[in-house]
Structure 1
């Protein structure tokens, strides 16, 4: 049984559109692949600990990460030598100081606080993955119309990795369903 860990973005949830699309695809089109889609904690440090625990208990062979989930995907794929597909990922050095204070989860409506301790934690993660070491483990999918993150920075960071660029689109990654087969091929999902 192949296990894939899906990591949603900042202030999102396991109920996000991409998470549902991937879950549905795996259920309908694979027989020996299990997709793990946790609701990550809104607290960055607790989300990190949650992902670490899932990796230790479930032993996934790969990660799919979106936005901040992509940043976490980079970190844990490098740490544990896992395959990783990133969708419009946040890349180091990530700066989330604009979110300092109270925020609201777009998906659940839950209010939460980002404090300096969490930003310092991200700073430590930034240093550990400043430069990608295992380029072959990554496939990155970006859309040039991403209004949140600069896709050109992702192309530069993932230079030497497999990169799929769609011109246009947005941060939510328009027409995601039409890209699932590429993910399936890269992760060798059965």
Structure 2
């Protein structure tokens, strides 16, 4: 009626609930770094889904899947389904929308191997790097494990970087790359250094 009163064409508006980002606080946003990208690899998608809190699962199931409400209620009821099983199911369901069943299963298997069994991933990228000292933050960006120097510094400050299994807590720490050195960013991102 307001549109007709103001001589405007009537329009239909469809609204959707806001999808909360991975941080569980703000809306999902690439600029906030709390998102699951549709172009993310299956491995990255799965890892991000597994990082959400149990309380966020119902929102993700509702907004990101076509599952019936009864099935969603069953999956998020911790008396009926263990939260980890529900997250695995959610991760695989989301991945299948963009890839296929095989990619979803491989991502789940890789996550189990790396996160639960503390093994190194099979498909770790090899990064060619000069045999010169470099700061920890610059090493993360050189390995393409983070999008920016700021993200690298935040990750390191939060205890999210390790080299050959040892935590790095200073973003300005000088590191001399060694052939075969394993750089880890967060729980699921790895790179193997190949010195030029």
- Same fold per TM (> 0.5)? no
Larger strand proportion of the pair: 1
TM-score (norm: length of structure 2): 0.28
TM-score (norm: length of structure 1): 0.28
Higher Rg of the two aligned structures: 2
